[in-house]
Amino acid sequence: MLACGIAAPAAPAAAAPCAPWPDYAAFMARYLSADGRVLDADSARHVTVSEGEAYALLFALVARDERRFARIAGWTADNLAGGDLARRLPAWQWGRRDDGSYGVLDDNSAADADLWLAYDLLEAGRLWHRAGYRATGRALAARILAEETADVTELGRVLLPGAHGFGVEGGWRLNPSYLPLEVLRRLARAADPGYRALAASAAAAIAASAPHGFVPDWIVFRAAGGTAPDPVAGARGSYDAVRVYLWAGMLAPADPARQRLLALLAPMARAVAGRGAPPASIDAAAGSAAGTGPPGFSAALVPFLASAGEWRAAARERRRAGHVADPGSGYYDDALRLFGLGWAEGRFRFGTAGELVVRRGPACA
């Protein structure tokens, strides 16, 4: 442990017994159906999104909950990917239709979810010695490269936010929070070396999107070069962008991009330390902050603040996030809590090659 009770960014203790994970148990009890779908009950259509399934799979990996992992993976394949994640990118949204039946609401893909799904399957194959998971993860990773990437001026080959609809007049819409370097590095090692180019372009895209240290939710990269504010979201950075700081904070100490990203995003670390709470949104172009973010934002920023050396702020945000999820906070907020607080509690780390390192000992499930 380092100052203020924040775990050092290194591998979890090798022989530590696995204590119960209250936040994991609460998340699964609150959001996971018996058949394996993460339900956002607060949404009008009781939706499930592919991102929620991907995050739940990762948390099950950390908890070494093989049965629940299999149930979530099965539901995802059967309902979002026509029965086979190796042959089809999953639809991003499923829920109640206008006629009252349930099914796919939007069959476009969400590339961030797809990356995490491929990662989860590959790591499940490695950690649990399951060849089937490993094969499906590699096939999905290949499909992502084939269907969700494009050559973008000044960046090279980049990950698009989905298979369709992200070209705009004179450029491409990108989402910096869809580019976790840990995941891209692991896919480059375990699935396809083509992901090395995506990791390089991801680091460049994040840097180009945050010239003042604040990341927008969405940004346009022009075909003629340079960037422009997103035509829909403008320069606002909020619910999407908070994940950029989370991914950066969880990078392995030896990751070649870690120090550069932490230096680039240092204004955000200083802003949170000075404000006493994370902002609900920031104008990434002007650097002006507004409102106070929910507890999930606090949890998401704990790894970032700790890795940036803002120990007091990290400890404060960890206290604010609390130890038991707020029943009214919602699926996304609670998912951020599991990422940020699970990392702070030493339950998992990402290795230099992006591999998932989990605390050894008896299973947490």
Q: What is the mean pLDDT of each run of 10 residues along the chain (365 residues)?
A: 37 45 93 94 89 98 97 98 97 96 97 98 98 98 98 95 93 97 98 97 97 96 94 96 98 97 97 94 93 95 98 96 67 95 96 93 51
The verdict on residue 169 lying in a domain is yes
Query: Which among 81, 112, 111 is positioned nearest to 94, based on CA atoms?
Result: 81
Look up 112 and say whether it is catalytic: yes
**Domain tally for the chain?**
1
The verdict on residue 364 lying in a domain is no
Instruction: Find the CATH number of the domain harbouring 348.
Output: 1.50.10.10
The verdict on residue 205 lying in a domain is yes
DSSP E strands in the chain: the ranges are 48-49, 93-96, 102-106, 149-152, 156-159, 167-168, 171-174, 219-222, 227-229, 236-237, 281-283, 288-290, 348-350, 356-358
pLDDT at 35: 95
Angle in degrees, CA 333, 53, 297, rounded to 5 = 15
The verdict on residue 363 lying in a domain is no
Look up 240 and say whether it is catalytic: no
The verdict on residue 365 lying in a domain is no
What is the greatest pairwise CA distance in the chain? 56
- Selecting among 23, 40, 53, 112, the annotated active-site residue is 112
Domain span at residue 117 reads 3-358
The verdict on residue 166 lying in a domain is yes
Supply the pTM of this predicted model: 0.93
- Selecting among 23, 51, 120, 310, the annotated active-site residue is 51
For 27, residues 6+ apart whose C-beta sits below 8 A from its C-beta are 56, 59, 325, 334, 335, 337, 338
pLDDT at 322: 83
For 33, residues 6+ apart whose C-beta sits below 8 A from its C-beta are 39, 75
